[in-house]
Amino acid sequence: MLIPHLHFCGDCAEAIALYEKAFNTKTDVLFYSGDGDGSIGRAIMRVHGLACYEIMKPGSITIDPLEELPYSKLAVQFIDKFCVQWGFMVEE
């Protein structure tokens, strides 16, 4: 299980909604920014599986394309449309 801790500058509600859809999960904890405007500063969610890449791919920039590597059956590295860099790989 992967438990990403996502940190953002400003409100990240739109990003969290996309990640919940991509990872088929719900956010466990939301931390609000300390400036009193009600914006979300950080979120924690639990991730099970990697079928999320196609959902997150639109608007992203591919760093390393989806391919087999010596240490992984399938791997990809990209920056999503919210400028968060991700690296996914599947174990044997």
Question: Tell me: the pLDDT tens digits for 52-80?
Answer: 888 899 999 999 999 998 988 888 889 99
Mean pLDDT value across residues 5-22 = 80
The pTM of this model reads: 0.69
| CA 57 vs CA 43, 46, 50, 80: distances in Å | 21, 20, 12, 7
3-class secondary structure, 60: coil
